[in-house]
């Protein structure tokens, strides 16, 4: 079994993921933006990483839902692996 490191992304390009379920009753501006994607399944088309501090690495994923005009960038903790 391959051990994941801090530099290893959790998800891969082409992988199907599901946006985590969100409550419609939120005051958080980020979550309010994501409500329309809550529970939807999409495919990762690209990912990026940022490192605001030397020891921390954060991944951002560009996820496409259906056609090319419907995509969004999501944080790693806003998605989960989709299993058929």
Tell me, yes or no, if the pTM score tops 0.95.
Answer: no
46: helix, strand or coil? strand
pLDDT in the model for residue 1: 46
Q: What is the pLDDT of residues 3-52, one digit of tens each?
A: 455 578 999 999 999 999 877 776 778 777 888 899 999 999 999 998 88
Q: What is the pLDDT of residues 53-79, one digit of tens each?
A: 777 889 999 999 988 889 999 999 999
The set of residues, in sequence order, having a beta carbon less than 8 Å from that of 81 and lying 6+ positions away, is 11, 15, 16, 17, 18
């Amino acid at each position: 079994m391959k051990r994941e490191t801090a530099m290893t992304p959790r998800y891969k390009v082409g992988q199907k993921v599901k946006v985590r379920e969100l409550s419609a009753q939120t005051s958080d501006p980020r979550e309010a933006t994501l409500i329309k994607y809550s529970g939807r399944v999409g495919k990762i088309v690209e990912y990026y990483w940022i490192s605001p501090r030397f020891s921390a690495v954060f991944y951002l994923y560009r996820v496409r839902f259906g056609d090319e005009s419907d995509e969004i960038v999501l944080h790693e903790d806003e998605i989960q692996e989709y299993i058929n």
